[in-house]
Amino acid sequence: MRAVVVHGAGDLRVEERPDPVARPGEVVVAMEWGGVCGSDVSYWKHGASGTAVLRDPLVLGHEVAGRVVTSGPGVHGWDPGLPVTVHPARAAAGSVLPQRLAGRTNLHSQVRYFGSAAFHPHTDGGFSELRAVPAEQLRKLPDGVSTEHGALAEPLAVAMHAVNRAGDVRGRDVVVNGAGPIGCLVVAAAKFRGAASVTAADVSPSSLAVAKELGADRVLDVGHGDRLPDDCELVFEASGAPAALGGVLRATARGGTLVQVGNLPGSAAPAVLGDLVTREITWIGAYRFVEEISDALGALRDGLDVSGVVTHRFDIGQAGEALAAAAGPGSSKVMIRLSAT
């Protein structure tokens, strides 16, 4: 089978690997679609993603969907041909949550995540024609949801988790700062959850066009003179840019809520944070997701259309072009066709 493997900074290869065999508790899936995430781009460009540094070659990809091929011993109910997506997280052996975090499985101290070099040996991802997956990590696609849209369930789950962290958004006016793929999906998720209005802000007109397509009622081009409103009761910060924090906090209303969904750097970064105190802003982190991938699949089943977030499609043999497109201007979600659909 072919797989998309990063060997180091700037060294991406589509190479042949042995077909996987389903061990006890596993299901072999013929992967059909994968979405390129910022972490995939970072491994390719820098040989690292945050504090996770490549020590060995790594198969990329955690936004994937395909169809069941075969099941290993002890696995039942996953018939060949069944369309599935993958919950890419699995708590590492021995990782136990304290009682105060019961149910918040995204906060395990050690998590094995598809396509991650956070631990050694690394955890290969799903950008391959075939992948053996623990059955507990599979999620069946609802009728009418294609495998391409199934691969979007993972980033949509990130967005839905962020919206859930804000509480009930019904009837509320929402601002989303940063209209990359996650920011645009936060727009879609907030509207799906009943927000009265959603304003999206970014420096890129093409990104704002995607946000508009995913339901933004208003867009602000802050790179060309538009300014955030100065009394926003609920703000989602999706850019992950430390330089934006001061302005975003200033835009958040006194007593308002700011949900941080954009990944901030793990190193020191200057930011103007005084408004956090003087305006009594509630600043909430949102990290990955728990079981919102099931919520995302339900939303797709019920008609939430996120197809507008996809701007590019490539075949697996063009994986290098796919990552370059994802890293370049004018793109939102870039999809890789991993095998015939």
Average pLDDT of the segment spanning 313-327: 98
Least confident of 84-98, 146-160, 177-191: 84-98
| Residue 341 in this model has a pLDDT that exceeds 80 | no
Residue 193 pLDDT exceeds 80:
yes
Instruction: Report whether pLDDT(30) > 80.
Output: yes
What percentage of the chain carries pLDDT values higher than 70? 99
SS (H, E, C) 269-323: CCCCCHHHHHCCCEEEECCCCCCHHHHHHHHHHCCCCCHHHEEEEEEHHHHHHHH
Taking each helix axis from N to C end, the angle separating 292-301 and 153-165, rounded to the nearest 10 degrees, works out to 110
Judged against a pLDDT cut of 70, whether residue 279 lies above it is answered with: yes
pLDDT bucket at 269, cuts 50 / 70 / 90? confident
- Residue 238: pLDDT above 80? yes
DSSP conformation class of 152: T
CB 165 within 8 A of CB 186: no
Instruction: Give per-residue pLDDT as tens, 213-227.
Output: 999 999 999 999 999
CA-based end-to-end distance of the chain = 16
What are the beta bridge partners of residue 218? Answer: 199
Residues 6+ apart with CB under 8 A from 100: none
pLDDT of 101 reads 96
Tell me, what's the pLDDT at 93?
84
Question: What is the average pLDDT score of the chain?
Answer: 96
